[in-house]
Amino acid sequence: MTGPSQQPAEFTNDTLDLGTLPRVEAGAFESLDPAYLRMRMVAAGAFGAVVAVAALTVALLSSSWVVGVVGAVLVALVALVALARRIEVGYMGFLVREQDVSYRSGVISRAVATVPFARVQHVAIHRGPLDRRFGLATLQMRTAGGSIAIPGLRVELAERLKQVVADRASELADAEADVADDTGGR
């Protein structure tokens, strides 16, 4: 509500020149730690070994050659998935800018997700058994609209990024609260 001396701000909705907006792709994305690729390859290798042993066992117990062919196809598919993971990890990365954090991923369908610091509601670090074995962590950031997770970070880097995200989110939330107080809650 405006007082007698306050005039409401004039509403504007001008068109933005898209050519002048900063591009996320223009930033230099940081690669994930090389241990992340090793971890993914170990997981794919373990899964491939289980599939190969199961296929070989079934083929030896069966008198049909079809079972052996199916097993070989399954092993080939596991190898193809491992190759796709290798390519994917090479593309994955993160970018920390003044106002946001971006994460890119994907092999066939590439994606870049960006979370503004001002919208972060929760930031956490997750470490599964393989992560711990390889000295890695995943940084998880949640907003009201969703979340992004950046895997393959060294634990020390994940801790520093968590602190940066939490600090920036707090600073921007305080700044928004100050603006709201100065404008009377509008």
Per-residue confidence band for 179, with pLDDT thresholds at 50, 70 and 90:
low
The answer on pLDDT for 178 being more than 90 is no
Query: What DSSP string describes 57-124?
Result: HHHHH-S-HHHHHHHHHHHHHHHHHHHHHHHHHHH-EEEE-SSEEEEEE-SSS-EEEEEEGGGEEEEE
Q: What is the pLDDT of residue 92?
A: 94
The answer on pLDDT for 118 being more than 80 is yes
**What are 146-174's pLDDT values in tens digits?**
899 999 999 999 999 999 999 998 888 77
* % of the chain beyond a pLDDT of 70: 89
Q: What is the arithmetic mean of pLDDT over 96-124? A: 91
Q: What is the pLDDT of residue 137?
A: 98
